[in-house]
Copies of this chain bind each other. A is one copy, B any other.
Amino acid sequence: MSLKIGVLNISDRASAGIYADTPGQACIALLREWLVTPFELDYKIIPDERPVIEAELRRMADDSGCCLVVTTGGTGPAPRDVTPEATSAVCEKMLPGFGELMRATSLKFVPTAILSRQTAGVRGKTLIVNLPGRPKAIRENLEAVFPAIPYCVDLIGGPRLETNETVIKIYRPGS
Contacts and interface: CB of A to CB of B under 8 A. Distances in A.
Contact of A93 (B81, B95, B104, B173): B81
A130 to B, nearest CB: 12
A97 B111 CA distance: 11
Interface residues of A, number: 40
A53 B158 CA distance: 27
B94 A114 contact: no
Contacts of A100: 96, 100, 103-104, 114
Q: How many monomers of this protein are in the complex? A: 3
A100 B117 CA distance: 11
B93 A116 contact: no
User: Which residue, of A85, A94, A96, has the highest number of chain B Cβ atoms within 10 A?
Assistant: A96
A98 B114 CA distance: 6
A157 B114 contact: no
A148 B96 CA distance: 21
Nearest to A127: B77
Interface string A40-65: 00000000000000000000000000
B79 A156 contact: yes
Interface of A: 76-79, 81, 85, 93-101, 103-104, 107, 110-117, 122, 127, 145, 147-148, 151-152, 155-157, 170-173
18 contacts: A77-B93, A79-B156, A85-B93, A96-B96, A96-B100, A97-B99, A97-B103, A97-B117, A100-B100, A101-B107, A111-B147, A111-B170, A111-B171, A112-B151, A112-B152, A112-B172, A114-B145, A115-B148
